[in-house]
Amino acid sequence: MVTTSFRGGGAEFVALTWAGWLASQGHTVGLATTTVHDDGVAPDRVTHIPLEGDSTLATVRALRAAVKGRFDVILSLQSLPNLVSLAAARGLRHVAVVISERNITSRENEPLRLPERVRRAVALRWYRRADMAIAVSHAVGAELVSAYRVPADRVVVVPNPAGQRAEARGTRETSAQPDGVLRLALPMRLVPQKRVNLAVDAAAVLRARGIDARLLCFTTESGMADLAAHAEASGVPVESPGWVDDWAAATPAGSVVVLPSYREGFGNILVEAAQAGFPSVAVSNSFGVGDALVPGLSGQFALVGTADALADAVESAARVDMTRARDWGRRFSTNESGRLLTDALSSAIHRMDAPHFGLRERDFA
């Protein structure tokens, strides 16, 4: 498996979870990281393979040397690891390559830095060489086919193991608290994509409707100062306990989890919320969230990304009966995710070994 590092975000969490699960099933797993001097700890029975190098070419060579003759398949997560893996596997006829895209890469009017533009241009030519592509959601899968021209029969959707923390925690009741406060929980990085100020504006709308809405923000990032300033100007109280790994365990009952992003590949926190008994809200046109939230079952969609629409969705979500959400959430259990991942890896290896006039299909690309 190839990922950027042991820490960072949802993709890194998924990589560690999948690596640990595969090793627990008796598979030989090496976890390669492209970040130099990563000081994280690999899961039990997983070998850490640091791809030391001062350039992308050196990283490719290090991965090729680590894989050759030792592994049957490379599974990479995110764009740079995907491209490094595809380059490293060139000419290795007995190593299948499975790439995994974790986000919607179309960014509308967002400016792209030069390295991002280069990676996207290369990915547009190389992604279709993969033996299999795993999408985190159906929206991401559709983009792999439409934008990157990956054949549809080589794209599968494997659910994220977003239920790992819930499995460790167990179940809990989340009936409303007697203090009458409606907390909008924000367990996320404060980056422009998340539009956290929209959650502030929605809370202000709710307060204008006579609801004691407050924000509960789990983060340690510098953007917290800007959020706090906007909330103060809007008259919205904010609680900020810092980042907590199991944020759901630290969230008071009766809260609603809000993900106001304008673009999401999936939305792990929506599934984590459902499995902890919290309803959640996301914006319908952020697309990837359609796999992570079921309206009326685990929360509600805001039709558009406005404060009024988000406030309406929060009020609706707060009334959702969450008793059936855990049954739906089993799709995202570690075992179910791992089972489907194993099937996808096996399919990729079978495709690689299938005769194609003596050559592999990607050799023609």
Confidence band for 116, pLDDT divided at 50, 70 and 90: confident
- pLDDT at 109 (0 to 100): 67
Work out the average pLDDT over 279-284.
97
The boundaries of every CATH 3.40.50.2000 domain in the chain are 2-161+335-364, 165-328
Residues linked to residue 134 through DSSP beta bridges, in sequence order: 100, 156
Distance CA(99)–CA(148), nearest Å, equals 12
pLDDT score of 365 more than 70? no
Q: Does residue 9 contact residue 86 with C-beta atoms inside 8 Å? A: no
Work out the average pLDDT over 346-364.
60
- pLDDT at 358 (0 to 100): 36
pLDDT score of 354 more than 80? no
- Report the chain's mean pLDDT, rounded to a whole number: 88
Q: Which residue has the tokens 């950027």?
A: 4
Query: Using the 8-state DSSP alphabet, how is residue 115 labeled?
Result: H
Confidence band for 357, pLDDT divided at 50, 70 and 90: very low
Work out the average pLDDT over 143-159.
95
- pLDDT at 359 (0 to 100): 36
Find which of 10-24, 80-94, 170-184, 193-207 is predicted with most confidence, using mean pLDDT: 193-207
Phi-psi domain of 299 (left: phi exceeds 0; alpha: psi -120 through 50; beta: other): left
Work out the average pLDDT over 313-337.
92
Query: Using the 8-state DSSP alphabet, how is residue 247 labeled?
Result: G
- pLDDT at 168 (0 to 100): 60
Confidence band for 7, pLDDT divided at 50, 70 and 90: confident
* Token digits of residue 153: 């029969």
pLDDT score of 304 more than 50? yes
**Residue 97 host element (H or E):** strand 96-101
pLDDT score of 45 more than 60? yes
Work out the average pLDDT over 151-157.
96
CATH of region 2-161+335-364, choose from 3.30.230.10, 3.10.640.10, 3.40.50.2000, 3.30.465.10? 3.40.50.2000
Distance CA(330)–CA(18), nearest Å, equals 16
pLDDT score of 360 more than 50? no
CA-based nearest residue to 77, from 57, 45, 47, 100? 100
pLDDT score of 353 more than 80? no
Confidence band for 315, pLDDT divided at 50, 70 and 90: very high
- Sequence-distant (≥ 6) Cβ neighbours of residue 280 within 8 angstroms: 256, 257, 258, 259, 269, 270, 273, 274, 293, 298, 299, 317
Work out the average pLDDT over 151-158.
96
- Per residue in 166-183, pLDDT (tens digit) is 666 555 554 445 578 999
Residues linked to residue 282 through DSSP beta bridges, in sequence order: 259, 301
pLDDT score of 82 more than 70? yes
- Which pTM value belongs to this model? 0.87
CATH 3.40.50.2000 matches 165-328: yes
| Residue, of 8 and 320, whose pLDDT is higher | 320
Q: Does residue 353 contact residue 132 with C-beta atoms inside 8 Å? A: no
- pLDDT at 298 (0 to 100): 96
